[in-house]
Amino acid sequence: MMDWSGLKEWNLRLRKKYLVGLIVVASMVIVAESASSYNQTQQAGYLHHGNKGHSDYKHVWPEMRIGWRIVVGAIIGFFGAAFGSAGGVGGGGIYVPMLTLIIGFDAKSSIAISKCMITGAAASTVYYNLKQRHPTLEMPVIDYDLALLFQPMLVLGVSIGVTFNVIFADWMITVLLIIIFIFMSTKAFSKGIQTWKKETIKKKIAPLLLGDNAEVVIPTPPPEILSDNAQIETKGPKKEKVSLIENVYWKALGLLLVIWFMILALQIAKNYTKTCTVPYWILDFAQIPVAASLTIYQAVRLYKGRRKIASRGEAESNWRVHKLLLYCFSGLLAGIIGGLLGLGGGFILGPLFLEMGIPPQVSSATATFAMTFSASMSVVEYYLLKRFPVPYALYLFAVTTLAGFVGQYVVKKVIDMLGRASIIIFILSFTILVSAISLGGVGLADMIKKIERKEYMGFEDICLYS
């Protein structure tokens, strides 16, 4: 007999994906129509592309003055940062359309400024999380071993993505964005539903299994399999907060900072080297062994069982070579997309961590922690390329920094009140979906405009870019 229940479930999932895709496409058309009318007022800011391979790109930086545009933009940026910090995605998918459609920056400058905004939200979120504890285990909410595996490749990916941002045509970026975001939003939403159902079951059976004075015992892995400095206390109440010095794994943080500074030094040296010369490419490719060295070091330790991803609460490890390679590639891809689109790598890392079985609070905190390094790297690179006005960047950086604190505080209170960490997953899914609609709509409008003008829509030559 056929498993009709399984067939029905598969059919239902397929219909959900079609429905999500239809809603996204319809919404993008609406956004595209409004963006198209707005873009007509911005024609003076863009120069046509002449000969193939030659870039006549000119940035559009509106004057910074108090008005409805900057006020509305700040409000949207604030709420985008609050939601993005809670979901661990940064909010770049909301910042870029806001900067383009409302404040009036050109697309590439919007991407650069969005990185400043992401850095502000991520920095405040990380500061808030540094003293937070794992929801069930005696360890920090930030999984430093997980960050050691992903962060170096994330930073390397950002460097590649910034280069691709110069080379790729806008329509290529739009197509890539729509495909990835719809997939990620659907996966995150499905994971949120699963987590919600599990939380509901736990709420129902808890009163039946526990008496009024019963003490909940949460299984934890033995201390020897945890990261450095992690300790499990099986007796007494679990500490919600500890001092900053006690809660930070300084060795792991030091390694991450060393890699960040080394790649930053290479980027600065490359900026003062003539484009496409031999020294330029040597400095460019030197980033690969620098970033890969730490990732390989951590991957080998995980493979040999010397380190565990303790935040999953598992005493055993089943790390395989192909899985480690997949995760490393995912970190690289997240960085490339972040640098290319002006987004936080959390759009990829957040759903990936959830699929790995990482609790939502830890997934959000660790993704944001890794994203802080990559986003700040992008800010430095874009600054060296003179891709954004500093006063505007500082103003919006301050807005999102404040929003990051507010978002973390409010979401934590809601989770404590409802007892449902799945809220973080739904926020993640919602933010990705809104980003797909807004960015996809803006990209679609720009494509239509260029087709009507018969502009060049091919690759740019990075050697001609200055």
Could you tell me the pLDDT band of residue 268, with boundaries at 50, 70 and 90? Answer: confident
Q: Where are the domains of the chain?
A: 66-204+242-464
> 3-state class of 68 per DSSP?
helix
Could you tell me the pLDDT band of residue 289, with boundaries at 50, 70 and 90? Answer: very high
Average pLDDT over residues 267-280: 86
At residue 414, does pLDDT exceed 70? yes
CA dihedral (70, 73, 78, 84) in degrees, to 10, reads -150
**In the prediction, which pLDDT does 216 show?**
45
At residue 50, does pLDDT exceed 80? no
Residue type, 117: M
**In the prediction, which pLDDT does 315 show?**
47
The Cα–Cα gap between 73 and 71 comes to 5
Average pLDDT over residues 334-339: 79
Alpha helices in 342-389 (DSSP H): 346-355, 360-384
**In the prediction, which pLDDT does 398 show?**
92
Could you tell me the pLDDT band of residue 350, with boundaries at 50, 70 and 90? Answer: confident
CB 154 within 8 A of CB 295: no
At residue 264, does pLDDT exceed 80? yes
Lowest mean pLDDT among 27-36, 296-305, 356-365, 430-439: 27-36
At residue 248, does pLDDT exceed 80? yes
Q: For residue 439, what is the DSSP state?
A: H
CB 60 within 8 A of CB 105: yes
CB 64 within 8 A of CB 395: yes
**In the prediction, which pLDDT does 318 show?**
66
pTM: 0.70
Nearest to 95 by CA among 306, 375, 332: 375
The Cα–Cα gap between 267 and 77 comes to 29
Could you tell me the pLDDT band of residue 402, with boundaries at 50, 70 and 90? Answer: very high
Percent of the chain whose pLDDT exceeds 70: 76
At residue 80, does pLDDT exceed 50? yes
Could you tell me the pLDDT band of residue 286, with boundaries at 50, 70 and 90? Answer: very high
For 198-229, how does the pLDDT look when each residue is reduced to its tens digit (9 = 90+)? 888 877 776 666 555 544 444 444 433 344 44
At residue 37, does pLDDT exceed 80? no
At residue 313, does pLDDT exceed 90? no
Nearest to 400 by CA among 119, 127, 126, 129: 119
The Cα–Cα gap between 299 and 280 comes to 30
**In the prediction, which pLDDT does 194 show?**
82
The Cα–Cα gap between 148 and 258 comes to 12
Residues in the chain: 466
Could you tell me the pLDDT band of residue 25, with boundaries at 50, 70 and 90? Answer: very low
What is the helix (H) or strand (E) element at residue 430, kind and residue range? Answer: helix 422-453
**In the prediction, which pLDDT does 97 show?**
80
The Cα–Cα gap between 327 and 299 comes to 10
At residue 33, does pLDDT exceed 60? no
At residue 448, does pLDDT exceed 60? yes
What lies within 8 Å, CB to CB, of 113 at 6+ separation is: 95, 99, 105, 342, 388, 392, 393, 396
Nearest to 230 by CA among 257, 248, 207: 248
> 3-state class of 65 per DSSP?
coil
For 100-110, how does the pLDDT look when each residue is reduced to its tens digit (9 = 90+)? 888 888 877 88
DSSP notation for 179-199: HHHHHHHHHHHHHHHHHHHHH
CA 261 to chain centroid, in Å, comes to: 21
At residue 31, does pLDDT exceed 50? no
The Cα–Cα gap between 360 and 354 comes to 7
Residue type, 332: L
Who wins on pLDDT, 5 or 46? 5
Highest mean pLDDT among 77-81, 284-288, 343-347: 284-288
**In the prediction, which pLDDT does 351 show?**
80
CB 113 within 8 A of CB 385: no
Average pLDDT over residues 82-106: 78
Could you tell me the pLDDT band of residue 396, with boundaries at 50, 70 and 90? Answer: very high
Average pLDDT, the chain: 75
The Cα–Cα gap between 193 and 198 comes to 9
Dig out the tokens for 168 from the structure: 């790729």
Q: Say which residue the tokens 């058309």 belong to.
A: 29
The Cα–Cα gap between 195 and 206 comes to 16
CB 376 within 8 A of CB 58: no
At residue 282, does pLDDT exceed 90? yes
Percent of the chain whose pLDDT exceeds 90: 5
DSSP notation for 73-141: HHHHHHHHHHHHHHHTSTTHHHHHHIIIIII---HHHHHHHHHHHHHHHHHHHHHHHTTBB-SSSSSBS
Lowest mean pLDDT among 12-21, 201-210, 273-282, 296-305: 12-21
Who wins on pLDDT, 306 or 344? 306
